[in-house]
Chains A and B, each alone.
Chain A
Amino acid sequence: MNDFCLQTKGLNKVYHSVLKGDTVALKDINLDINKREFISIIGPSGCGKSTLLRILGCLDKPTSGEIIYQDGKEQEMGFVFQDSVLLPWKNVRENAGFPLVIKKDKTKESWDKLDDLLELSGLSDFKNSLPKELSGGMKQRVSIVRALSYDAPMLLMDEPFGALDAITRDHLNLELLKIWEMTKKTIIFVTHSIEEAVFLSDRVIVMSARPGQIKEIVEIDLERVRKESVRDTDKFQEYTKYLRGIIG
Chain B
Amino acid sequence: MFYKKHRKKILPLMVIPIFILIWELYILMFNVEAYLLPRPWDLAQATFGFFVNGDMMTHILVTLQEILLGTAIGLVIGLVLGYVLAKVKFLERIVMPFVIIVQTAPKISLAPLFILWMGLGIASKVVLVVLVVSFPIMINEVLAIRSIDKDVYNLMKILKSNKLQIFMKIELPYSLEMLLSGIKLAVTQAMIGAVIGEMIGSKAGLGYLVVLGGETYDINLILASVFILSLMGYLLYLMFDIIEKKTLSWKAIEVDVIG
Contacts and interface: CB of A to CB of B under 8 A. Distances in A.
B155 A81 contact: yes
Interface stretch (B12-20, B116-124, B132-140, B158-166): B158-166
Interface string A74-105: 00011101110101110000000011011100
Interface bracket on B = 10 to 19
B158 A79 contact: yes
Interface residues of A, number: 23
B151 interface: yes
Contacts of B170: 87
B251 interface: yes
Contacts of A98: 159, 169
A59 B157 contact: yes
A211 interface: no
A130 interface: yes
Contacts of A59: 154, 157-158
Nearest to B247: A89
Contact of A81 (B151, B177, B252): B151
B149 A83 contact: yes
Interface in B92-141: none
Contacts of A82: 151
A72 to B, nearest CB: 13
A102 B155 CA distance: 11
Given A57-B158, A77-B158, A81-B154, A87 B149 contact: no
B99 to A, nearest CB: 25
A132 interface: yes
Contacts of A132: 250-252
A85 B149 contact: yes
A83 B151 contact: yes
Interface in A103-139: 103, 130-132
Given A57-B158, A102-B161, A130-B250, A89 B173 contact: yes
B156 interface: yes
Interface in A13-51: none
A150 B159 CA distance: 9
Q: Which of A57, A81, A83 has the most CB of B within 10 A?
A: A81
B243 interface: no
Given A81-B151, A83-B149, A83-B151, A88 B250 contact: yes
A136 to B, nearest CB: 14
B251 A88 contact: yes
Nearest to A83: B151
B250 A89 contact: yes
A83 to B, nearest CB: 7
A245 to B, nearest CB: 34
Contacts of B173: 87, 89
Interface string B150-186: 0110111111110001000110010001000000000
24 contacts: A57-B158, A58-B158, A59-B154, A59-B157, A79-B154, A79-B155, A82-B151, A83-B149, A85-B149, A85-B151, A85-B155, A87-B169, A87-B170, A87-B173, A89-B173, A89-B177, A98-B169, A101-B169, A102-B165, A103-B159, A130-B250, A131-B250, A132-B251, A132-B252
